[in-house]
A and B are shown apart, each in its own frame.
Chain A
Amino acid sequence: MERVVDPLAAGARPRLVSSEAIAFAVMLGVLVIAPVVAYPVFLMKALCFALFACAFNLLIGYVGLLSFGHALFFGWAGYVGAHLAKVGKVSLPFWFGGWKWFVIPLPPLSPELAILGGALAAAVLGLIAGAVAIRRQGIYFAMITLALAQMMFFFAVQAPFTGGEDGIQAVPRGQLFGLLDLGNQMTIYYFVLAVFVACFLLIYRIIHSPFGEVLKAIRENEARAISLGYKTDRYKLVAFVLSATLAGVAGATKAIVFQLASLTDVHWTMSGEVVLMTLVGGLGTVFGPVAGAFVVVAMESYLAQWGQWITVIQGVIFVACVLLFRRGIVGEIANALRVRL
């Protein structure tokens, strides 16, 4: 894939404060003030998708794996989170001389635990799907993840607890840590912002850790990484599980915020949307997915009255990005300023 050349390596002078730190401060500042001027529900939606896109970008941008099935983790974490917040009781089927149910009698959980539960479910799904998908590379990887996600979509249609076409509705937002009422629009906004920022920093930390360097080495030349003694399959699997888990946090948070988990979030169109967001913002840039998510979510809300034409517009953006604009918004800015973003 075409990548932004590392400007430091290309001879730009090192700066006292990194461009990434400045950009992060600006982003945080804007997001803290934003609900005063913009509609908080819109912002929360964009933040959930921004986190989803960042998690997706961890795979495509830094390991070079295009997952076309990330809705699987986003949507299923939403279902599990919504179920834990609304019902709580978990029944798992197991085989012991006939199918039986293993029942964990949980009460309805507070939102932070529901989100953690959703993320855990996404991690388990990521481990299973990842173990299958990383056996092939490139285009095959994309097709396999898409097929696995489609399988779990059909499962979501049939499974009793997901509510089929209706989804899980009227999920309570609840009391954060049993103290803060998330029914308040501002409280829940800052909660979502905190979740987003924490995960964003975690992703940043992963990318810049020794582990992240190995991931980039795999992206650039997997054969060489193997010959250097790295078990690349394990690295890819860990990266996949991390990406799935973070996508799960995004999905479960969205379910709590919108009090709804539905088939839309597990459908392949959702997987396509997160690819679009990341592509628009800039593949392999730290801030690109955030910018892309805000642009796409804004576009969808402003063009809502156009109905089906949104799909066509999304398609046109896909084509335009691939043909003319492969660096994405943030990638182009970074390239023009010769900084890393």
Chain B
Amino acid sequence: MFSIFDIPSQALFGQLLIGLINGSFYALLSLGLAVIFGMLNIINFTHGAQYMMGAFVAYLLLQLAGLNYWAALVVTPIAVGVTGVVIERLFLQRLYQLDHLYGLLLTFGLALIIQGVFRNYYGSSGLPYQVPPLLQGGRNLGFMFLPNYRAWVIVFSAVVCLGTWFVIERTRLGAYLRAATENPTLVRAFGINVPRMITLTYGFGVGLAALAGVMAAPIYNVSPLMGQDIIIVVFAVVVIGGMGSIMGAIVTGFALGVIEGLTKVFFPEASNTVIFVIMAIVLLIRPAGLFGRSA
């Protein structure tokens, strides 16, 4: 046991861990937002609700179908992703010719509907979700205690983030995606089905949100309101990082989680607001965001 700046190391590393956990979710969610924004030019306000749906689907799979955490980790993103595909086909497709703000308003309305319905059936208190048996317990690292599940969340979300980055930046499919972002008409002329690609991109982004929801279920309680505040923080993360770059979204997400965690140690009153303050400072110094290209 030692201390840094009069803060005991246990508290410091504990908050650092919580910061990394939150950062994992910020990174996954802002990554999904950035992928969706790149193709659809829509800011997906429903993202928080879809994150919540991910946690609920995992909870219901366990309660009703007896499917465990590992199965939920695979099934949930697909199931929620399919609802995303339906939303894109039914609603979003009609908005591409209009001002981008209509996309924001429509997805905001959808978020209200989804959250309202879940709140009606499950109230606003949280439902518990057990940590899977394989990941229960933890290990003592000497300077702190590390629960296994939390280590898993950090590692797995980093892997998912980097995997997404690899697919988009380093594969042929990703090249098509990036090309369609730049010039959809030209890419269509090459015989690539761009509307289908847009639909699937939205489904994928939504699936990422749902995956984050499944991972969050054992840490936070499963609650209809779990997505509504985190989405605003993620918006701030996206503004800070700038939406131009996939890697930017990932790095900013993790970094801000850590900064938030450290603020909890050194200046707890400001821990809720620190990300927003950073956003304001970044906007004043570098309006396009840290990794963004100026419009």
A residues with CB within 8 A of B: 1-2, 66, 68, 132-133, 135-140, 142-144, 146-148, 150-151, 154-155, 157-158, 268, 272, 275, 279, 307-312, 314-319, 321-323, 326
Contacts and interface: CB of A to CB of B under 8 A. Distances in A.
B18 interface: no
B105 A154 contact: no
Interface in B187-241: 229, 232-233, 235-236, 238-239
Contacts of B65: none
A323 B120 contact: no
A72 to B, nearest CB: 11
A31 B116 CA distance: 34
B120 A275 contact: no
A275 B91 contact: no
Contact of B102 (A135, A150, A309, A326): A326
Interface in B90-142: 91, 94-95, 98-102, 104-106, 108-117, 119-120
B41 to A, nearest CB: 8
24 contacts: A1-B98, A1-B101, A1-B102, A132-B283, A135-B283, A138-B101, A144-B239, A146-B235, A147-B235, A147-B276, A147-B279, A148-B276, A150-B232, A151-B277, A275-B105, A275-B108, A308-B119, A311-B113, A311-B119, A312-B113, A315-B116, A316-B109, A316-B113, A319-B106
A32 to B, nearest CB: 34
Q: Is the interface of A mostly helix, strand, loop or mixed?
A: helix
B287 A135 contact: yes
Contacts of A154: 272-273
A137 B295 contact: yes
A147 B232 contact: yes
Given A135-B283, A143-B239, 10 more contacts: A140-B239, A142-B104, A151-B272, A151-B276, A151-B277, A275-B108, A309-B120, A311-B119, A318-B106, A319-B106
B104 A139 contact: yes
B1 interface: no
B250 interface: no
Contacts of B279: 144, 147-148
Given A148-B280, A155-B273, A143 B105 contact: no
Residue of A135, A315, A317 with highest tally of chain B CB at under 10 A: A315
